[in-house]
Structure 1
Amino acid sequence: MGFLNQVNGRTNSPTSQQQHQFNLSLYPARNLHVGFKNEYYVNKLVSKSNHTLFSDLIIRYTWQKRKIDFETAWNNIWNTSQLSLVSTSAFSYLESSYQLRPMQVLQRVRFSF
């Protein structure tokens, strides 16, 4: 959605923001789950335009006899370092920029009693 706003009599350039999500869950075996999560942002801001992609991969194996989950999570696969967002109305323009955690791999073990 694009917005045109005016602050102090000065009209800013139109801005737009799109967010796309794609999630995929696979169960290749009875005790195995593979999940792939994606978020894609397209921003046209007053100061710049950018495209940002985030992806996470999760692999979980469940040992049902012992009620234990083994999970590996690979977060921020593309090592995206920054996200910029815009919020506009007829009276305001707010551009936010966030520094993000670097790519990481986590191992988890969960127990149920």
Structure 2
Amino acid sequence: MAAQDYLDLLERRVLRRSVTLSALGVEEVAWTETDARLVVAALQDSHWAILGGDVLRIGANAPEYTYDSWHSGPRNGETPREFVERTHTETLQYIDAYPNRESHLYTLVCSRVV
């Protein structure tokens, strides 16, 4: 199963608002703060963990990488469900703590955990 399959869980209205990063030579999408929160909410009852992501500044012509990122890995003794839930919480905490978060985009690196 490809990592992009998590996109299949999203409502069309959210998916349409994703920002493609193809102009940067990357086959990936990014999300505004608001839409990133919607993506995390859509993944809540799934087996999709958010392993981390990158932050991009909304530029005049194209998004620009800030080289800020976060990551989450499994912990010893953690169940798959606990891992998935923790990654969602850590993603939201990172976005909440990011300065000027409204003027940035966030990529989400997701992996299906069973």
TM-score (norm 2): 0.24
Structure having the larger proportion of residues in strand: 1
Q: Which structure features the higher share of helix residues?
A: 2
Larger CA Rg, structure 1 vs 2: 1
